[in-house]
């Protein structure tokens, strides 16, 4: 994720449909909400960085699209079943 990645509203601004309708159609097709998809994408990016780099945790948090470290850790633990540090210790390529 980079700073040029926008909010969902910005991503769909040129689509002639409401945010609510877009979210409903997205979930019908993909099986999860746009927010859940975005979280999964961000967590997968963080996992890759934890496995493949020696970046500091704050760098990984911001690089994967989060601005709140506490929120990141909560979502990561809920999604992965362990803390980011535990994940890195278990899966980092040395």
Structure tokens at 57: 């945790």
What is the percent of the chain where pLDDT is above 70? 91
pTM of the full structure = 0.81
The predicted model gives 64-70 an average pLDDT of 94
Domain 8-91 falls in which CATH fold?
A: Arc Repressor Mutant, subunit A (1.10.10)
Q: CB atoms < 10 A from the CB of 26, how many?
A: 18
| Segment 19-63, tens digit of pLDDT | 788 889 999 999 999 889 999 999 999 999 999 999 999 999 999
Show me where the domains of the chain are located.
8-91
């Amino acid at each position: 994720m980079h700073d040029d990645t926008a909010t969902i509203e910005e991503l769909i601004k040129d689509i002639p449909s409401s945010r609510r309708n877009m979210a409903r159609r997205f979930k019908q097709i993909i099986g999860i909400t746009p927010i859940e998809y975005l979280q999964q994408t961000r967590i997968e990016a963080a996992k890759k960085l934890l496995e493949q780099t020696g970046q500091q945790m704050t760098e990984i948090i911001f690089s994967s699209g989060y601005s709140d470290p506490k929120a990141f850790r909560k979502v990561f633990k809920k999604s992965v079943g362990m803390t980011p540090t535990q994940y890195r210790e278990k899966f980092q390529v040395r």
